[in-house]
């Protein structure tokens, strides 16, 4: 993982959990549904994935918001 982080030009203190959270946030902001996020990130419950979509809606950052 350290090599991949280094090759991507990311700070070496990046952790897999932080990268997973960032991916979830970006997916939600791009308009992915909670089920899509769950599938991509491997969450075991819908509630875990819904955190990302709810936060994106609350902040007005979803690309499909009018």
22 sits in which H/E element: helix 16-29
Burial class (CB in 10 A: 0-12, 13-18, 19+), 12: exposed
CA 31 from chain centre, in angstroms, equals: 11
The string of pLDDT tens digits covering residues 1-54 is 889 888 989 888 888 888 899 999 999 999 999 999 999 999 999 999 999 999
Say if residues 37 and 27 touch (Cβ distance below 8 Å): yes
pTM for the whole structure = 0.76
């Amino acid at each position: 993982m350290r090599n991949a982080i280094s090759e991507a030009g990311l700070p070496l203190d990046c952790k897999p959990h932080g990268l997973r959270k960032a991916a979830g946030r970006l997916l939600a902001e791009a308009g992915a549904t909670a089920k899509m996020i769950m599938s991509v990130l491997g969450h075991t419950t819908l509630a875990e994935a819904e955190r990302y979509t709810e936060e994106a809606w609350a902040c007005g950052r979803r690309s499909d918001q009018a």
